[in-house]
Each structure stands twice: as C-alpha cells, then as structure tokens.
Amino acid sequence: MKAIIFDLDDTLYDCTGSLLEASRKRAAKVMVKAGLPCTEEEAYLMQKELSEKYGPYYLVFNEMAKKFGWNDSFVDSALKAYNSNEV
C-alpha cells in the first residue's frame, strides 16, 4: 500500500449528509413518541428547515421545544436519539 487518503471534511465523499438523514429520523421518532403534536415526517422536515435556515450549529431541538412548550428533558431525549451510533 502506497497511500491512505482521509476525507475529514466531506470533500471526496459526503459522509455527513448521509448520516444527517438517519439522525434526524431517529430524533423525529423519539420526539413524536414523547408526544410532539405532529407526524415523524413533519418533525423531520422541521429539523431540516431550521438547520437550512439558521445553519448546522443552530440549536434545532431547543427551538422546537420552545415552539411546543416542552422542557429540557425533551431536548435531551432528541439529542440522545440524534447522536446515537445507529446507522
């Protein structure tokens, strides 16, 4: 082997983009199961729209919790599902 190539910034392969969809779907499922008054698809799209509007570092789950009057445990549950290592 003459070389090993690392792509840490998604230049050669969009790894982040492929992981985002699964992460958002996991979070949407948990949020709806916790009682969020919408479908999983609507929760998924809300995450996507907020991220596209405000950027990747925006506190999406905090914004959703504020919109629906939910507390920090809602945000914690959504983050835990979003960051789980299931692919």
Q: How many domains does the chain have?
A: 1
The answer to the question of residue 63 being in a domain is: yes
Tell me the pLDDT tens digit for each residue of 23-69: 999 999 999 999 999 999 999 999 999 999 999 889 999 999 999 99
CA–CA dist 60, 36 (Å, integer): 14
Q: Is 80 domain-assigned?
A: yes
Q: With respect to residue 81, please indicate whether it lies within any of the assigned structural domains.
A: yes
In a domain, 52, yes or no: yes
Is the residue at 8 inside a domain?
A: no
* Predicted local confidence at residue 11, as pLDDT: 75
Q: What is the pLDDT of residue 87?
A: 59
Quick one: pLDDT band at residue 72, thresholds 50, 70, 90?
confident
State pTM to two decimals. 0.79
Question: 55: domain range?
Answer: 39-87
Quick check: is 45 in a domain?
Answer: yes
Residue at 47 is within a domain:
yes
Whether 81 and 22 have beta carbons less than 8 Å apart is answered as no
| 73 part of a folded domain | yes
More confident residue, 35 or 9: 35
Buried b (16+ CB within 10 A) or exposed e, 52-76: eeeeeeeebbbbbbeeeebeeebbe
